[in-house]
Structure 1
Amino acid sequence: MNKTVNINLGGMFFHIDEDAYQKLTRYFDAIKRSLNNSSGHDEIIKDIEMRVSELLNEKQISDKHVVGLKDVDEVIAVMGQPEDYIIEDELKGSQTYSDNSNRRSKKLYRDKEKGMIGGVAAGLGHYFGIDAVWIRIVLILLVFAGFGTGILAYIILWVVTPEAITTSEKLEMTGEPVNISNIEKKVREEFESVSGKIKNVDYDKYGNQIKTGANKIGSSFGDFIITVFKVFAKFLGVILIMSSLAILIVFLIGVLSLGSTGFTNFPFHDFIESGNFTDYPIWFFGVLFYIAVSIPAFFLMLLGFKLLAPNMKSIGNIAKYTLLAIWIISIALLISIGVKQMSAFSANGRVVNKQIIPLKENDTLRIKFVHNDYFSKNINDNHDFMVTEDSTGAKVIYSNQVRINIRKTDEKSPYIQIEKEAKGKSLFEAKKTAEKIQYGYTIIGNQLILDNYLLTDFKNKFRDQEVEITLYLPEGTLLKPDSSVENYDRSDNDFFNLHYSSDNYIYKVENSQIKCLNCPADENEYDDVDNDMDDNDSTQTSVTINKNGVSVKNDTIINSKNNIQELKINKDGIIIKTK
């Protein structure tokens, strides 16, 4: 059993066993000895420590992970041995930086050292391997030709792209391997560059002043923009957390309420429960639906916490990929359920019942719809469908999918035809489901009383059940619809135009249409239009007397209401017009 040591390496905290700690200590001591005579010794050591810290952090499985000899050996294999990296002046140039086989994939950073404002263009230039000037040209073109999108793109990239500060980040920005050799070389180059600038300070004085001023302006503007976006990010984070929590809680209540009558008004509850699309337990569908919704909501909540606390530790790739796999499986099952449900509505079946109405001659047929107080408060309290219980406590599906259509028949007696319709996987199954629809009506004397609802047992499931009533009336039949008929009438208006202003109107079936006998004239759209037109038509006669003789002309004027006489005398003669 080895002892463990707690160390702080590059600003990060690690648990490391004693053997691994001793090996890592010897490694750093060897690096320090090899860099004794190097310029920028402390900066190189600091950057190497930070890079080793990054590599060890990538291997952390959990907060309790202990760094072992294997982890240290793998880090040393990446960084290299100190004695293997002796920088010679003649090796500067292409040998180190042109070896593409040793290059790492580049990372996007902002290069403020070579940038003009925030270093975005310079960083993109490093990342894509092109001159930053071309990036700046594209951004400027987007400002003028893209309706200002260049500015927006620059600001967004400025906010989301980190700045390359450490030597490791600068090497990653250019795609160079982050090892001892390159870290030492980069630090030495920067040290020599700074030394050269100090020697040539008199020559670069004015240029440096201008660049410093531009950097200050750019930094101030950048700080302001970043501050604004940080505030917005915090606000967005709060919104994401609150909305995600609301979704998780609300849908959890919905899933737990499946099968409970106490939550029948919960969104989607009736739809899921009455459909029970898959023949699986209803809770199974609810769990799948909750998983499909809750996992994206959970990731949105994590994003919100990340916006509020950028340094918050990630949940780890294992957890991410596990949740993603579960979500994909749930979506696949829901799609499968959807396909199966579509097949359950593929066929349309119906059953028809016909009954003669024993109406006496010259008697008026009265029509009305009624409701059931147990299922609704009044005739206008309608529901497309809902799951409820009948008076015996049995679960039923209730629906107002009822409509009436009035037509003319050549038979001597009026009759009513009730069509019950439903859908299913096959015509046989759809017809069986239609037969199980419960619908009631009564004929009492000259009254036809119709239910405004249908019922079916809960086990029959929702299969788009509906009832269509067709009332066939012979010519000369008198009828008086109640006001309740208005909501269910689907008759052809060219044949039967139901007037909604009163339920005391009496209608008569004629050869081509049903006419209202006591409706106001301005409401009856089926008055004799031809007679009205004849009454409003008039004839205009024109008599012209001139040098050519006498001419008479007759014209028909439509919608003329007044008789007008007009006499004109001009160079053409005498013109008399009579209407």
Structure 2
Amino acid sequence: MKKVININFQGRVIPIEETAYELLKQYVDSLRQYFANEEGRDEIINDIEGRIAELFSERLKKGTNCITDDDVRAVVASMGRPEDFDAQETELGGGSPQQERKQQSYQHSQQSQTYTAAGRGRFYRNADDKILGGVASGLSNYLGIDPVISRIIFVVFFGFLFWVYILLWIIVPSKSVQSNITKRLYRSSENKVIGGVAGGLAAYFNVDTWIPRLIFGLPIIVGLVSSPFGMWWNDWDFWGGPRVLTGSLSVTLAITYVILWIALPVAVTASEKLEMRGEKVDLNSIRNTVKEDLGSFRTKAQNWGNELKETAENLGERAKTFGQTAGQSAKTWATTEAAPVARSAGSGAGHVIGVLFKAFFLFVGGIIALTVLGVMAAVFGAGVVVMPFKGFFLEGALQNTMAWSTLLFFFGVPILAFLVWIIRKIAGAKKNHYIAYVFAVLWIVGLISFITLISGIERNFRGGAKVQSDITLNPVKDRLTVKVTDSKVRYYGGWPHDFGDGVRFTDDSLELSNVRLKIEKSPDSAYHANFIKFSNGRTDGQAENLARTTSYNVTQWDSILYLDKGFSIPRGAKFRNQHILVSVKVPIGKRIIIDRSVNRKLNRWFSLGSDGRYWRDWEWENDGYWVTGDHNRDIEYIMTPGGIERVEDLDADELSRGRYKMKPNENDRRNDDERIDQQQRDDRGDDKKYKYKSDTTAPRQDTTTVRTTAMYNGAEMSKEEYSHEKTSSGMRHSLFILGRMFQL
């Protein structure tokens, strides 16, 4: 049995056999001797050791308990020995690092083509490199692409590919797969303009850098150029090409670029740059890459040196002073304050309670955060749908700008931040506080925009007015029928967006069924009708003008009253809570039929409300009767002195005599008797001398009133007398108790 030790190798804890460690040490020492006279030898050795540490970590992920002698020999064989490269250089007769790198790249590409020609083999889920099932890693290994690409695609298109992922997880078997991926996706640290995403994609797909830059930049540039014209001429498409190029595609590409910018790591080391280009990672290639980087850096340093020398000296002096001061302060704080607090917090039951509270608050905070995120995602989706019709609600460039800023920053940034966090977790990227600060600043900008937008919209609805129009009704019979006609608005072209509840958008208008029917008692023996048009506005005058321009018709034909289904607001006009109240006044003894079309075509009332008292008086006064009930059939009502009633609920014989009496209802009588019995049981105890007795001899007037009497010491009294006597008895009992207390 061999002894196993743990070593810290390039920032990684590696369990390794002691004999294997001796082999590794000998190999590293030989590298130091080989590169002793090379320029940048320290960088070369660090990059080689970093690559070896990565290979060791990959072997440990596959289930190996520790690094053995065979593992070290395999890594050394893949990286190459110094003497092997001496022989290779002799055969090639020397050459520049660029020529050597091209030769190695050609040989490596030939090996990759040989593997591809041999076939990819069977598709398995990767049991060694998995986050959730190993589907993305196995698919990437089968296709020969970086697993990060597959994982990002599954996350971005989660709604479309969710069930595909689940099916592959169930159907495809799992197996330990030997990785054959020769290229990794990184951001380029050299060929970059904004983030280096395009440079990294160009290196990965082996194309010129301008191609991915054109793909990402063209839709955004065209959209920025055409958007000012679209603000002034909504019906004229300045671009003239497919609108998807300046619409959804540009937004999707911009979001994709930002996600890749945040999720992908930068190719910094020589081995990472070689992986980005798909070149073989060995001693010679790492050495050549480091030499190229040093040469490029030397050229840039010579150009910038004279300009930055003085600034660098000043900054160095300031950094030195700041470092000394900060180090002394940190040392003082750690010895005088932090150590006692840490010892106190980490001892006994207090530490356990603190951990439990932390776990509880993290759980509650996670639930709240997910809920808020879900609400923001829903609002963001609704905002994207409604945004093309913002012209009906917003006015002025400021409100339009604040609306876009609110949608993108206040609601969109948290969603993007969550997606970026998930993708960075998948990619295994290191924490970056700068990203959190950027998201926080953008969200604060969105919050300010949201407050400004709400304030501006509130001013648009501050005023209020109403305009009333009266209609004289002359039905042929003593019966009026109310029907709702189909909409007079016709749609030609475009896609109508129906949001339900009486709201319908088209390319050129907004149709509202914001109409409510109210039945009232007529002051005389004739039918009357009026409709009131309400509206808000920035001022009362503007509100009155909007109310007057609202087109709504109420017409009579014979004994039928026809109501329009709704009214439309043309493009260019503004929605300011316009709504219609139709009031029909019915004389006592006369009837009205509510057609089933009223319920099917008049949508629910909705109103943004107002502070004016007259609004509540007109809309919610108590002397009217809102029509409710089952309107899938025609219902006939009759106006009685007590209010409107259904004809089918009244006693037909009494109605023929001109009296309005409800039909007897045995269920109501039984409920009244049960209520009286319950009251008697509640009054037992100190009030045993009281007893209710139902007066069954009295004629029954309606279904909601029951005459009762009470027996008090054998004498019959009315319920009012009984209640008064019971209250007086209770007061006498309370006074008696108080008197006894004062005597004590």
Rg larger in structure? 1
* TM-score (norm. length: structure 2): 0.38
Larger strand share, 1 or 2:
1
* TM-score (norm. length: structure 1): 0.47
